[in-house]
Structure 1
Amino acid sequence: MEYPLSQLDLRFAVRIPPLSKRAGCFLDVQHQDERALERGMAFDSLGRSELSSCSFAASAPAAEARIAFQKVYCLPHFFERRKKIRVIVFLEKLLVRESMLQLSSKVRHNEQLLLACGEFSLKDMVASKAEPFTVALDMQETPEAKHWLRTTDDAKRGVDVLVTFTERTSARMIASIHFMGRDMPSKSFVLSKRRSLTRSFRKFLSTADTPYESTDEYGGSALGGRNWEQENALSLVVQRPLQSDVWESVLRSAPISADSKGGADFGPLTLSRHQLNGGEDGRTIRIELQRLSLGEGFVRVAYAETTLRRLLDLGRSRRLVLVSIADGKLQPCGELELVSVSLSPSPSFLEFHRSESVIIDTTVAIDFTASNLDPSIAQSLHNSSARVSLTGSGTNGDEGTLNPYERCLCQVYELLSPYSASGMSMFGFGARIPPLWGTSHCFSLSPGGAYTAASMCGGGKQGQPFTDLTCTDREKVLYAYRRAAHQVAFAGPTLFAHFIRMLRIRSEKFVAERIPAYTFAIILTDGVMKDLVETVSELIQLSSLGCSVVIMGVGSSNFAPLEALVRNISGAGGYQNALVRNMVQFVDAGTLRTESDILRLQSAIGRLPHEFMEFMRTENVDPAAANRTWSRADLSASFRNIGIVPSPEQMSAVSAESYRNVAIEEHVRMLVNSSTRIQEPSGEVLARRPAVSSRDDS
């Protein structure tokens, strides 16, 4: 099942040159989803517009005609997908019995002509600030088309289509559902036995000579261990269907303990209407009751299926019967009393974007550790047959076959860049970088200055200030990545905390300077981090700030520990420490060659606007009332101002050993900018990097 971010109503108008004949004009609007495009499927028609008059009197001045059509086209808008819209403009000669302006049954139509045709991306239209969104169509250069125009020069004016859109009210609605539990199920014999086994296992751990941590408990020590006081606590989980018998959790209530009579107040559950049911109130949702078992995390106890429409019809003080499955049969297992349910208007993601009241930034970190293997090796995840252009002209973006990291970068850029304030900021970690070849776990890749080979990884030439730390198109993204992969020496170990700390410092700086900003951060990695405690600590601190993190596993490694960490840190594992809000995801992107890999990546990207809106609701940010006091230069300046940018003299005085042993705070502050300064290469020959050793990634 599909869950669009919003529903859009599109209206069209066209500008056409003066015509030599009395004619009417109508549109044929078609659409094609990117998944249909990949399968080579044709466009689907959304219908034809009404016929509108566009004729000109013989004495009329040679001016263009603007025709607005009344027909409204409704389209779902997916944040994580690209959809193409095709507009075809037809002319039709009119034979009128009474009035040329009365296009009714009294008019006979004949002699149709295809005048112009063009396509545009729905995502580009939504991301654009222009109102209306204008698309230049391709004129049909045929003798028939020229014959319909008043003069031959009119054909040079072309045909434009003007598109305006509005969000449907349903896209801006927030659902709030408040349940009280009645006769909640008591601990079953199985749960009691599980608790006994868990206690025995804890006793075994206390006497064991070596520490033990299963994959499911990965990160438990960093999260403060299990919260034994919350054992058997209850939680309600709202789920939506993905496909047959497959449900996705979209919201979890805070765990609470039932009273002696089996009662429990789960509090209001608040989420957007489209996140819950895609705007279809008749779509089935599941309310699942889960109990916290410290041996397994939250486990399902019972559930009830309903729809938002039914909840709205039930009203207050109505009850849902929870059922559980025992011996293959459904059995009653407590009740949920509906205390209140309501729908209220709220700002949408598109309102925030189009009002420019909040900076939306996209930042990517790429794993350059030795476990990826040297790019010259065919089996390397960084291997690519594409040549590295030293001019930065962006002409080499599609040469050869893209490697897994490049495919992920392209997907992330194409999906998020339309909403980003100034392109995409790029960083690397786990490599030894020139000129001192010290190991860095947070260095910039983005082009700066004149975008030449001398400004590798983001800085200008030595002695020049940083001017641009973002990549503004797909070709520059690939160029910055390939240049860094060619110049740095792959090392290790895999550490996330440095990059996440940089995000936290920058987000705190935004708060201190009262700059409204939100960051979508993507980490591309081929393995599990080695700095677990530091990473968890930084993520917990970051969760109270304006940032979302998506960790993407690249390649075929075992990412089960990362999946378990994200599950546990979100509060589903019953640990003492957890995120303030769920803003961390993990997705196994694989090599991004199969459709399932792409769908998993797009699903993770699709959750980002909901995390953004959750933070905006928490902070009570209103896009209409927000006072825009920032400029786009503030975003790039935030990178430069994180720490003091050292001069070339200061850099040359730093030894490689002290460069590696610098404290983590200063390490992030300094390397974000200073690591990008390299010596001027001779001609167009890139600097040689030291040989890569797999022992570095340890």
Structure 2
Amino acid sequence: MHAYFNILQVNFPCINQSKKAKKKKYENSGIVHLTSYRSEKQVSFLEFIYGGMQINFTVGIDFTASNGDPRSSSSLHYINPYQPNDYMQAIRAVGAVCQDYDTDKLFPVLGFGAQIPPNMQTSFEFAVNFNHQNPYCAGKFTQIRLYGPTNVAPIIYHVARFAEAAQKEEPTKGAAAYYVLLLLTDGAITDLDDTIAAIIYASRLPMSLIIVGVGDADFTAMNFLDGDNGVLRSNKGDMAVRDIVQFVPFREFKTVSATELARHVLAEVPQQVVRYYQMRQIAPKPRPS
């Protein structure tokens, strides 16, 4: 939020005290002429939340074969009745926080990289419960076959379509809906160029992408996608308009509390929300009385 003010010109002499002490005829080293100033109000993430903005949280899970056979205790998808696996720990930690900003507290859960029924064709965008109309509950892993490759662009575009629809309603609804995709994967992305293009596309929308690296793979490419060290650029020269990616290697936080994990995973989302609406010049709605 900006406000510009024109004022009567005010002059400020620039005084160098050393020169003034040495030269009797010294008056100043120049004059600063103030003709206008800008007042800027900084808004916060909580102002958007208090104004009724909803965080729509979607989970994307890697079901490629590199995770290992879910029936084996060495698999990243193994269901241990006494200890949640890495995927489950990450989802629970982040979901526990995100649900407080979502009225229905229901999260779509999508999978990618598996062969799914009835024809056992490889899919990179499927509801884990096989119900695309209502993808909000746990699925049965026994119905799918872990396969590959690790293509994540389709699932990013899937969520981006909802974010784009929300953006089109902003002229009438204002800051009403923002989308966060939590993407959990165990390995290097195989459609990197397409993923970069998808992220650049999503950077213009009310959307953030959190990538949690599960397991001990080389996640160098993930750090590249996290635009903290520069602007993400596609091989066609397109650039992201803002940073929307946060990458967290789960192995570095396995021993911390769920609260601490969630803090690291969600650290950048509030500022990403604020920057998006500043870019769109949309102010928070008034807090209901």
TM-score range (shorter-chain normalised) is 0.7 to 0.9
TM-score norm. by structure 2 comes to: 0.76
| Alignment RMSD (CA, Å) | 3.3
Judging changes above 3 Å, is the alpha-carbon distance between structure 1 residues 421 and 621 closer, same or farther for their aligned structure 2 residues? farther
CA distance in 2, matches of 1:614, 1:511: 14
Deviation at 1:365, TM superposition (A): 0.2
Decide which of 372, 375, 381 is 2:67's aligned counterpart. 372
Taking only the aligned residue pairs, the percentage that are identical comes to 29
Q: Which has a greater percent of strand?
A: 1
Aligned to 1:563: 223
Assess if the C-alpha contact under 8 Å between 1:361 and 1:518 holds in 2.
Answer: yes
Assess if the C-alpha contact under 8 Å between 1:368 and 1:485 holds in 2.
Answer: no
Aligned to 1:458: 131
Decide which of 192, 202, 206 is 1:546's aligned counterpart. 206
Decide which of 25, 32, 48 is 1:352's aligned counterpart. 48
Aligned to 1:265: none
Matched length:
252
Deviation at 1:364, TM superposition (A): 1.0
Query: Which 5+ residue runs of structure 2 have no aligned equivalent?
Result: 3-11, 16-33
CA distance in 2, matches of 1:370, 1:595: 28
Whether 1:493 and 2:139 are equivalent positions in the alignment is no
SS in 1 for 2:161: helix
Deviation at 1:436, TM superposition (A): 1.8
Q: Deviations over 1:555-597 (max 9, x none)?
A: 1111122213434884278984431101112111127421299
Judging changes above 3 Å, is the alpha-carbon distance between structure 1 residues 440 and 495 closer, same or farther for their aligned structure 2 residues? same
Judging changes above 3 Å, is the alpha-carbon distance between structure 1 residues 574 and 382 closer, same or farther for their aligned structure 2 residues? closer
Assess if the C-alpha contact under 8 Å between 1:592 and 1:598 holds in 2.
Answer: no
Whether 1:420 and 2:102 are equivalent positions in the alignment is yes
Decide which of 111, 117, 120 is 1:434's aligned counterpart. 117
Asked which structure has the greater RCO (Cα within 8 Å, sep 6+), the reply is 2
SS in 2 for 1:486: helix
Deviation at 1:494, TM superposition (A): 0.3
**2:146 is matched by which residue type in structure 1?**
F
**2:191 is matched by which residue type in structure 1?**
D
Decide which of 133, 136, 145 is 1:470's aligned counterpart. 136
**1:352 is matched by which residue type in structure 2?**
F
TM-score norm. by structure 1 comes to: 0.33
Judging changes above 3 Å, is the alpha-carbon distance between structure 1 residues 500 and 510 closer, same or farther for their aligned structure 2 residues? same
**1:355 is matched by which residue type in structure 2?**
G
CA distance in 1, matches of 2:180, 2:261: 17
Deviation at 1:504, TM superposition (A): 2.0
Whether 1:587 and 2:269 are equivalent positions in the alignment is no
Judging changes above 3 Å, is the alpha-carbon distance between structure 1 residues 569 and 509 closer, same or farther for their aligned structure 2 residues? farther
Aligned to 1:212: none
CA distance in 2, matches of 1:531, 1:561: 11
CA distance in 2, matches of 1:569, 1:444: 34
SS in 1 for 2:254: coil
Assess if the C-alpha contact under 8 Å between 2:70 and 2:79 holds in 1.
Answer: yes
Aligned to 1:620: 281
Q: Which has a greater percent of helix?
A: 2
CA distance in 1, matches of 2:156, 2:229: 15
Assess if the C-alpha contact under 8 Å between 1:408 and 1:592 holds in 2.
Answer: no
**2:54 is matched by which residue type in structure 1?**
I
Whether 1:444 and 2:127 are equivalent positions in the alignment is yes
Judging changes above 3 Å, is the alpha-carbon distance between structure 1 residues 596 and 590 closer, same or farther for their aligned structure 2 residues? farther
SS in 2 for 1:544: coil
Q: Deviations over 1:314-373 (max 9, x none)?
A: x9x99xxxxxxxxxxxxxxxxxxxx999874344322222321x3320111000000000
CA distance in 1, matches of 2:74, 2:62: 16
Aligned to 1:407: 89
Aligned to 2:7: none
Judging changes above 3 Å, is the alpha-carbon distance between structure 1 residues 619 and 612 closer, same or farther for their aligned structure 2 residues? same
Superposition map of 1:264-663 within 5 A: 344-356=40-52, 358-386=53-81, 400-423=82-105, 424-445=107-128, 456-458=129-131, 466=133, 468-470=134-136, 480=138, 483-514=139-170, 516-567=176-227, 570-571=230-231, 576-590=237-251, 592-595=253-256, 599=260, 602-624=263-285
SS in 2 for 1:406: helix
**1:524 is matched by which residue type in structure 2?**
L
